């Protein structure tokens, strides 16, 4: 059975002044697929994903979502289509608590546009505890939470709003071994539930464990995309280093 | 305990009351207390706008110029009939909102540093105003009773501006505490990038905050115009300093993202009480400037200390 194509990036390029951050990259993502993205620092991984999530506009190229051409002018546009991003810095407002961050930009409100704090608290508590049952500090400002707790909010938020595609930028970079293992399980569960994932990681073991295919980037160019079953870690490492 | 630490500014208000009990017998008269409230009503209304901009992570140093521009515009219309009185309120409010819009576009859409941008607009607005009135004072000899009442009238013995003051503080409290705008403002002030990545239209929120500041400054300008009916086109310069002192004194963070509107009111009260105490104690204008400057440095230093302390503890 052939899988449905969810995202199709076609010939995407982006320059910052004289620097070619992303150069003519085309990449597809299918239903329930995890596509790992790997490369050295400055390879263009985050910029490419930021274009898909509406943070940047590409200079050239097109994005297709379920076969339709889309143009995301802001992160809000991408979120409306069901593309959620868990940014490396987690994109949380540190001066607000978990519940406020969970619903930030998509608050539950009443007829006169007042926030329904009670409902938001209960909903966010349920959703975050699904991801991390030990999470209790709902009234604490995010600045005072651990990396794992912040990650729990970011992931729970992406899942709660019925994401079709989740972009994860180094989701385990700030976590300890136990929390990393929780995030790995979450990624596997999301995939089982039909959610497609772009996973940026420096950890080749993570990528091989979690991804169906791996895209290797170097200096803004796509070196190649390898199906996990037809490749091995040495081949991927060689592509990262040599750019061939 | 948390409630006390969040509202400790009111303890300072209380201490000033106790100290003045021993220092001056006139301080506790009802007339003097109402006088303090009437005097702080203009500053208080202006501070709402400054506080909202500051919670959003920006500064508005152009309010002095906006206040004067609106006061002069209002007086220049010689509000001597009910129709003209209405226009002499509506047009200055429009001017204030327009000035706020310019600030908002410069900071929100063109990404100019808010301090630099609003110092620039302060000079531009003042220059434009001076040019318009050829640098002359503007008078209104014959104002309508309604216009006079706005700033000088009393309702049930209480000065009318005090009603305006409390109404606007309650309204600002409701907006900041319960509305979507209040939450977005905090998020933008706390971390503008996170707010943007969360899908908030950060540019719009910044523009709205400056629109509110322009509106509040225009109301302050109209109240001043109604009170004095004689305006020097540079009279508002320095208001931003006083307003910022009150707002920071009220615990609004200089770095943005946090502020409690009723504590801002406490900051305004402290400024008013100190000013009143200086008058009652027969201290000079120079002493007033010295004390205000010292308080400003003290609260900015304390804010900076708290900021560094919280960073070190995260």
Is the interface score ipTM higher than 0.95?
A: no
Q: How far is B11 from chain A (nearest CA, A)?
A: 25
Domain housing B39: 12-301
Nearest to B212 by CA among B245, B175, B246: B175
> How many domains would you assign to chain A?
2
Domain housing A78: 1-82+163-244
**Nearest 5°: phi and psi at B112?**
-75, 150
Which tokens go with B59? 């500064």
In a domain, residue A34? The reply is yes
pLDDT digits (tens, 9 = 90+) for B117-132: 999 999 999 999 999 8
Mean pLDDT lowest for which of A11-25, B159-173, B267-281, B284-298?
B284-298
Does A153 share its domain with A174?
Answer: no
pLDDT digits (tens, 9 = 90+) for B34-60: 988 999 999 999 999 999 999 999 999
DSSP per residue over B124-167, as a string? Answer: HHHHHHHHHTTT--EE-SS--HHHHHHHH-EETTEEHHHHHHHH
Best of A93, A111, A117 to substitute, by most chain B Cβ atoms within 10 angstroms, is A93
Give the Cα separation of B84 and B230 in Å (integer). Answer: 17
Using a CB-CB distance cutoff of 8 angstroms, which residues of chain B are in contact with residue A87? 197
Q: Using CB atoms, which residue from B178, B187, B200 is nearest to A115?
A: B178
Does A77 share its domain with A179?
Answer: yes
pLDDT digits (tens, 9 = 90+) for B129-178: 999 888 888 888 888 888 899 999 999 999 999 999 999 999 999 999 99
Does A155 share its domain with A230?
Answer: no
In a domain, residue B311? The reply is no
Per-residue pLDDT at B105 exceeds 50: yes
Report CB contact under 8 Å: B200, A92: no
In a domain, residue B75? The reply is yes
Determine the Cα angle at A46 with ends A40 and A51, to 5°. Answer: 145
In a domain, residue A136? The reply is yes
Does A139 share its domain with A65?
Answer: no
Does A40 share its domain with A146?
Answer: no
In a domain, residue A231? The reply is yes
**Nearest 5°: phi and psi at A31?**
-60, 135
CATH number of A19's domain: 3.40.50.300
Does A149 share its domain with A173?
Answer: no
Q: Are A238 and A216 in contact (CB under 8 A)?
A: no
Does A49 share its domain with A144?
Answer: no
Give the Cα separation of B22 and A236 in Å (integer). Answer: 81
Using a CB-CB distance cutoff of 8 angstroms, which residues of chain A are in contact with residue B201? 74, 76
Residue in A closest to B196 by C-alpha: A75
CATH number of B38's domain: 1.10.3470
In a domain, residue A87? The reply is no
Which tokens go with B134? 């050829």
In a domain, residue A72? The reply is yes
> How many domains would you assign to chain B?
1
Average pLDDT, chain B: 89
pLDDT at residue B312 in the model: 58
Q: Are B49 and B216 in contact (CB under 8 A)?
A: yes
| Average pLDDT per consecutive 10 residues, chain A (244 residues; last block may be shorter) | 82 91 93 92 91 93 93 92 86 92 93 92 92 84 86 87 90 77 85 90 86 92 87 84 80
In a domain, residue B132? The reply is yes
In a domain, residue B306? The reply is no
Q: Using CB atoms, which residue from A74, A75, A113 is nearest to B180?
A: A113
Q: How many CB pairs under 8 A join A and B?
A: 78
In a domain, residue B308? The reply is no
In a domain, residue B6? The reply is no
pLDDT digits (tens, 9 = 90+) for B209-248: 999 999 999 999 999 999 988 888 888 888 898 899 899 9
Residue in B closest to A84 by C-alpha: B198
In a domain, residue B310? The reply is no
Does A66 share its domain with A98?
Answer: no
Does A148 share its domain with A168?
Answer: no
pLDDT at residue A1 in the model: 45
Report CB contact under 8 Å: B201, A76: yes
In a domain, residue B3? The reply is no
Best of B186, B199, B255, B258 to substitute, by most chain A Cβ atoms within 10 angstroms, is B199
Which tokens go with B143? 């104002």
Give the Cα separation of A72 and A79 in Å (integer). Answer: 9
Q: Using CB atoms, which residue from A95, A107, A109 is nearest to B190?
A: A95
pLDDT at residue B310 in the model: 63
Average pLDDT, integer, range B188-212: 95
């Amino acid at each position: 059975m052939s899988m449905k194509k969810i995202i199709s990036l076609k010939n995407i390029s982006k320059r910052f002044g004289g620097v070619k951050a992303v150069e003519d990259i085309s990449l597809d993502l299918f239903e329930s697929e995890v596509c790992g993205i790997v490369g050295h620092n400055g390879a263009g991984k985050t910029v490419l994903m930021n274009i898909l999530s509406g943070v940047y506009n590409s200079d050239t190229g097109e994005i297709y979502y379920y076969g339709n051409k889309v143009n995301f002018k802001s992160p809000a546009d991408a979120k409306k289509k069901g593309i959620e991003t868990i940014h490396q810095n987690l994109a949380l407002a540190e001066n607000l608590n978990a519940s406020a961050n969970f619903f930030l930009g998509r608050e539950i409100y009443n007829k006169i546009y007042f926030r329904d704090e009670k409902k938001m608290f209960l909903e966010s508590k349920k959703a975050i505890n699904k991801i991390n049952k030990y999470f209790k500090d709902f009234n604490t400002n995010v600045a005072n939470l651990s990396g794992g707790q912040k990650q729990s909010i970011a992931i729970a938020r992406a899942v709660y709003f019925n994401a079709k595609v989740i972009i994860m930028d180094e989701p385990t970079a700030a976590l300890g071994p136990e929390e990393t293992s929780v995030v790995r399980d979450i990624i596997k569960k999301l995939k089982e539930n039909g959610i497609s994932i772009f996973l940026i990681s420096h950890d080749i073991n993570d990528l091989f464990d979690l991804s169906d295919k791996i895209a290797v980037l170097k200096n803004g160019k796509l070196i190649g995309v390898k199906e996990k079953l037809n490749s091995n870690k040495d081949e991927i490492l060689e592509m990262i280093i040599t750019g061939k | 305990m948390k409630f006390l630490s969040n509202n400790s500014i009111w303890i300072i208000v209380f201490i000033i009351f106790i100290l003045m009990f021993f220092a001056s017998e006139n301080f506790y008269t009802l007339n003097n207390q109402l006088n303090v409230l009437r005097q702080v009503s203009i500053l208080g209304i202006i501070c709402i706008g400054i506080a909202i901009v500051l919670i959003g992570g920006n500064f508005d140093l152009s309010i002095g110029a906006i206040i004067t521009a609106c006061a002069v515009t209002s007086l220049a219309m010689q509000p001597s009939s009910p129709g003209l009185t209405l226009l002499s309120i509506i047009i200055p409010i429009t001017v204030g909102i327009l000035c706020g819009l310019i600030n908002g576009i410069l900071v929100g859409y063109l990404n100019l540093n808010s301090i630099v941008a609003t110092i620039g607009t302060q000079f531009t607005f003042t220059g434009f105003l001076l040019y318009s009135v050829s640098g002359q004072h503007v008078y209104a000899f014959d104002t309508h009773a309604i216009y006079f009442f706005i700033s000088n009238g009393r309702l049930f013995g209480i000065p009318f501006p005090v009603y305006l003051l409390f109404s606007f503080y309650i309204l600002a409290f409701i907006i900041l505490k319960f509305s979507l705008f209040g939450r977005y403002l905090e998020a933008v002030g706390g971390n503008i990038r996170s707010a943007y990545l969360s899908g908030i239209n950060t540019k719009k929120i910044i523009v709205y905050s400056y629109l509110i500041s322009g509106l509040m400054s225009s109301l302050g300008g109209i109240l001043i115009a109604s009170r004095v009916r004689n305006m020097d086109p540079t009279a508002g310069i320095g208001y931003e300093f006083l307003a910022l002192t009150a707002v920071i004194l009220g615990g609004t963070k200089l770095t943005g993202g946090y502020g409690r509107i009723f504590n801002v009111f406490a900051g305004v009260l402290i400024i008013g009480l100190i000013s009143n105490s200086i008058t009652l104690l027969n201290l000079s204008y120079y002493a007033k400037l010295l004390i205000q400057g010292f308080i400003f440095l003290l609260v900015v230093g304390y804010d900076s200390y708290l900021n560094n302390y919280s960073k070190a503890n995260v």
